């Protein structure tokens, strides 16, 4: 809420940020189209440049520099976002998510309630 502490707000921003990132990746089309691939890469680079938490965006930019975004396929991009999130989890002493389990990632992030990933056919 409006009176949440700074720590709570930072965590809420983080959950919202990861929700956008993982859901966008999970709803990319298979096969991946150039437009969808370019869009998700632009989103991830924008996060690295503009995410409001300075520490977070600098870590994320460093992560991208060391681990280039794996744009091979929808699955590889979704797994890349999972590995990036695990890098933050590790810094926070939280358990790692099973990024090799694409079905688990789909179950968690594949249904956005909106039916409209960036590769969805036009109505």
User: Both tokens of residue 117?
Assistant: 């990933």
Quick check: 73 binds ligand FAD (CB under 6 A)? no
Pair 84, 14: CB distance under 8 Å = no
Q: How many residues bind ligand FAD (CB under 6 A)?
A: 20
Tokens of 104: 């688990």
Chain position whose Cβ is nearest to ligand FAD = 14
Helices (H), 27-123: 34-50, 54-66, 74-91, 102-109
Is 89:95 a contact under the CB 8 Å cutoff? yes
35/111 with CB nearer ligand FAD: 111
97 binding ligand FAD? (CB under 6 A)? yes
Q: Which is nearer to ligand FAD, 14 or 29 (CB)?
A: 14
Residues that bind ligand FAD (CB under 6 A): 11, 14-15, 17-18, 22, 47, 51, 55-56, 59-60, 82, 85-86, 88-89, 92, 97, 108
């Amino acid at each position: 809420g409006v009176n949440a502490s700074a720590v709570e707000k930072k965590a809420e921003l983080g959950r919202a940020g990861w929700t956008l990132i993982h859901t966008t990746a999970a709803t990319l089309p298979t096969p991946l189209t150039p437009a969808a691939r370019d869009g998700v890469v632009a989103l991830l680079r924008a996060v690295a440049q503009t995410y409001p938490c300075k520490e977070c965006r600098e870590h994320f930019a460093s992560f991208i520099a060391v681990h280039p975004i794996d744009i091979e396929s929808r699955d590889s991009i979704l797994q890349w976002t999972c590995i990036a999130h695990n890098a933050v989890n590790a810094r926070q002493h939280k358990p790692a998510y099973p990024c090799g389990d694409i079905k688990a990632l789909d179950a968690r992030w594949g249904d956005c309630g909106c039916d409209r990933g960036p590769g969805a056919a036009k109505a």
